[in-house]
A and B are shown apart, each in its own frame.
Chain A
C-alpha cells in the first residue's frame, strides 16, 4: 500500500484520504473531533479555495477549512486495497 504523509492543502483534489494527525491547539482539535473530523476519519478534498482554504467531504458532509487550519491537518492517501 502506497503511503505518504502530507497536509490537506498538499492533497490532490478528489483524492481519498485518511486523517493521520491534527496539529491544532487542543481546544480547537477537540471541536474538530466533535464536529466529526478525527484521527482515522476518511475524507476527500472536494474544493480548493482562496488563500489555501479547502473543502473536504466527510461522511456525506462538506467542511470548509481556512488555509492555516488545513495546513495543520495531516492526511495520508488511501488507495484501493488488493
Chain B
C-alpha cells in the first residue's frame, strides 16, 4: 500500500501552517455510482466545498478544497482543488451526467498533453466489493493518459461479505496486492473513520503521482506529445477508444458498437487478469465464481435476506408507498411547526427589532421601513421558513441513499414510471410534490440522469401541493357547499391526469431523447447511514438552496412590495398606499380581461392569482383583502367572503359562477406553484428551462381554465 509517511497522524486543520497555492493541484474523483466517492469527497474537504452546475449543463458538481497540514519542512502544507464527478460505469457515456465525467477526464488528459508540468490527478475510486466493475472504468481512465491514483473503498463491506471474492481479506493486504498488479499507488481508505482513514496516504500518493506519473501496468497510453503533437495524441486516443470528448459513442456520434465491444473485450481481458492476480495473491477462498461453477447454492447475505421482504413482489410496493408516505409526512406535518416557529420569529421579534432600529435613525414609517420590513425581511423569512422542509428532505433522501434503499425504490417503482420514460425513483419526488413542490424539486437529485431530472422537475409543479388545498376548500365550499369534498377530490384527480398527460406530451415533443431504457441497476449492500457525512451533505445542499434560490425569492418579494407600494391613483405617498390604488392593483386590472374567457375576468381574481404567484397560501388572504372583508379562520366557512366571491364570479361569468370557480381552481392547479419553486427550478435547471416552463404553465393553465369554463357554462 502506498503511504509516504507510514503511520502518520491524521491531518489537522492548521491554518497558520497552510500555504494557499496560487495554482492548486486539480484532483478529479472518478468512480461508479455508490462506490463511496462522495463520502470520500466529504472526508477530504470537510466544510470547504460547494455545489455548482457543470458548464452548459444541469449536472450538479461538488467542488472543494482538499487541504493537508504540513508535518515538516520537507512536507509543507498543501491545498488541492477537488471535484466530485458524477458516478459513471464507463467513459463511453450514455447520459449527460456520465458525459460530464468523461469530458472532465478527457479535458485533464488534453491539458496533461498540452501543458508543461502536471495540471491534475485523477483519483479512481474502486469498490472493493465489485473490483471487476471498478477496474473496467479504471482501465478506460488509464487509457486517456491522465496521472492516476487508486482509492480503495468499501473494504469493511468486502471483508464481511459472504460471497465477495475479497471476503475476509485485510484492507492493507488487498491494497498491496492491487498496487503490485496495477503498478500505480493504491490507498485503502475508510472515509467514515474518525481517524486518518488513509487520507494522509492518499494525499501523499496524489502529490507523488502529480510530480512523477506512473503508467498502469498492461494498459497502453498515448505517446507523449513531444513526439506526436498534442492534438494528434488526444485524437488518437479517441479513435482507439472509440469515444469522443463531446458525445456519447453509444448513441451514434462515432458509434460503432462492434468496434467498441472489440475494444472493450481487451479491457475485460485485462480486468480478468488483474482480478485473477489479486485473488491469487490474497488467496481468496470464497470466490463467487468458483462457488457458482461448482453448482452449489449461493450463501445469502444480510442484504439478500432484507431484500426478500423489500423487493418481494407483494410486499415491495406497499413498503415503497410507506416510505413515500413517511417522506410526505416529514415534509409537511413534521416541518410545519418548525416553519411556524421561524415565521413567528421573523415576523415578530425580528421585524420589531428592525422597525425599532429604523425608528432610532428617523426612518420609522418611511418607504425604507416598508422595503426592509415588508419586502426584504418577508423575503428572508420566506427563505428561512423553507429551510426545515429542505433540510428534512435532504436528510431523508440521504438516509435512503446511504442505506441502499433508494436503488431498491427505483427497482420497485420502475414499472409505474416506465410509460413516461422515467426512472422508478421519479415516483418519489412526484408523490412528495403533493405535500410541497419545493422539496419535491430538490428530491429530483436522486435521479441519475439530467434529462430525467429536468422532465420530472417540469412535472412536479403539476402535482397539487397542500397550499393549493386552501384555495380549493374556499371556492368549493362557497360554490358547491353540498359537494365540496367531491370537487376537491376531482382537483387531485385532475392533478394526477395533468402529470401523466404532461409527461406523455413532453416525451413526444421536447423529451423524445428520454427513452425507457432497460433497468440494469447495481444494488448496493444495505448499510447504516453515516451521520457526519449525512450532516455535511445536508449542510452543503441547504447552503446551495439559500445562496442560489434564496436570492431570487428575496428579490421577487422586494419587487412585489414595490408594486404594492407605488401609488397610481389617489393622494398617497410611496409605501403608504391602499392596495386598490397601487401599481399592483393597476397591473391586476390590466390582466383581468385576459382571464375573461375563463369566467373570472375580475380584478379580485386577477390580484389573487398575482399574489398566488408568490405563494398559494396567501390567495385566500388576498381575496379577503381585495373584498375588504376579514379573512375567514376556516376556509370551509367562507362567510361574507364566500358571498362576495359568488357575487363577483357570477358577475364576471354572466351568471355561471360555479363554472368560473371550477376554472379558477384549475388555473390555480396548473400555473406556477410559487416563487420559491420557481427559484428552485432555476437553481436546478437554469433560466432557460425555467422560463420556458413558466410560460408553458401559464398557457396551459389559461387554456384549461377556458376549456373548463366554456364547457361548464354550457351544461
A interface residues, Cβ below 8 angstroms from B: 14-18, 24, 26-28, 30-38, 42-44, 46-51, 53, 55, 57-69, 72, 77-81
Choose one: A17, A38, A47, A63; the contact of B522 (CB below 8 Å).
Answer: A63
Residues 517-545 of chain B: 1 if any A CB is under 8 Å from the residue's CB, otherwise 0?
Answer: 11111110100000000000000000000
Chain B residues near A44 (CB, 8 Å)?
292, 297-298
5 A/B residue pairs, CB under 8 Å, sorted by A = A17-B292, A34-B89, A34-B90, A46-B298, A49-B411
Most chain A CB neighbours (cut-off 10 Å) among B166, B522, B525: B522
Chain A residues near B415 (CB, 8 Å)?
50-51, 66-67
Q: A30-B257, A35-B89 are in contact. Are A64 and B523 (CB under 8 A)?
A: yes
Q: A27-B250, A30-B260, A35-B133 are in contact. Are A61 and B522 (CB under 8 A)?
A: yes
Q: A35-B133, A59-B288, A62-B522 are in contact. Are A27 and B313 (CB under 8 A)?
A: no
Interface residues of B in 29-58 (CB under 8 A from A): none
Residues 70-102 of chain B: 1 if any A CB is under 8 Å from the residue's CB, otherwise 0?
Answer: 000000000000000000011010100000000
Q: Is the CB of A28 within 8 A of B517?
A: yes
Q: A65-B519, A78-B293 are in contact. Are A46 and B304 (CB under 8 A)?
A: yes
B169 to chain A, nearest CB (A): 12
Q: Is the CB of B164 within 8 A of A16?
A: no
Beta-carbon nearest neighbor of A37 in chain B = B520
Choose one: B163, B258, B520; the contact of A57 (CB below 8 Å).
Answer: B163
Q: Is the CB of B294 within 8 A of A46?
A: no
B interface residues, Cβ below 8 angstroms from A: 89-90, 92, 94, 129-130, 132-133, 136, 158, 161, 163-167, 250-251, 255, 257-258, 260-261, 264, 268, 288-289, 291-298, 300, 303-304, 307-308, 311-314, 316-317, 407-408, 410-412, 414-415, 418, 517-523, 525
Choose one: A14, A37, A49; the contact of B298 (CB below 8 Å).
Answer: A14
Instruction: Give the docked Cα–Cα distance between A81 and B295 (Å).
Output: 8
Q: Is the CB of B264 within 8 A of A42?
A: no
Q: A33-B261, A63-B521 are in contact. Are A46 and B300 (CB under 8 A)?
A: yes
Instruction: Give the docked Cα–Cα distance between A32 and B260 (Å).
Output: 13
Q: Is the CB of A69 within 8 A of B519?
A: yes
B526 to chain A, nearest CB (A): 11
Chain A residues near B296 (CB, 8 Å)?
16, 80
Q: Is the CB of B523 within 8 A of A55?
A: yes
A22 to chain B, nearest CB (A): 10
Instruction: Give the docked Cα–Cα distance between A63 and B158 (Å).
Output: 17
Q: Is the CB of B316 within 8 A of A55?
A: no
Chain A residues near B251 (CB, 8 Å)?
27
Q: Is the CB of A36 within 8 A of B313?
A: no
Chain B residues near A66 (CB, 8 Å)?
411, 414-415, 418, 518-519
Choose one: B94, B250, B293, B523; the contact of A62 (CB below 8 Å).
Answer: B523
Instruction: Give the docked Cα–Cα distance between A60 and B165 (Å).
Output: 7
B586 to chain A, nearest CB (A): 56
Q: Is the CB of B520 within 8 A of A32?
A: yes
B130 to chain A, nearest CB (A): 5
Q: Is the CB of B130 within 8 A of A16?
A: no
A48 to chain B, nearest CB (A): 6
Chain A residues near B297 (CB, 8 Å)?
14-16, 44
Choose one: B268, B304, B312, B407; the contact of A38 (CB below 8 Å).
Answer: B268
Choose one: A16, A35, A49; the contact of B520 (CB below 8 Å).
Answer: A35
Q: Is the CB of B133 within 8 A of A36?
A: yes
Beta-carbon nearest neighbor of A67 in chain B = B415
Chain A residues near B307 (CB, 8 Å)?
46-47, 55, 62
Q: Is the CB of B412 within 8 A of A49?
A: yes
Chain B residues near A77 (CB, 8 Å)?
295
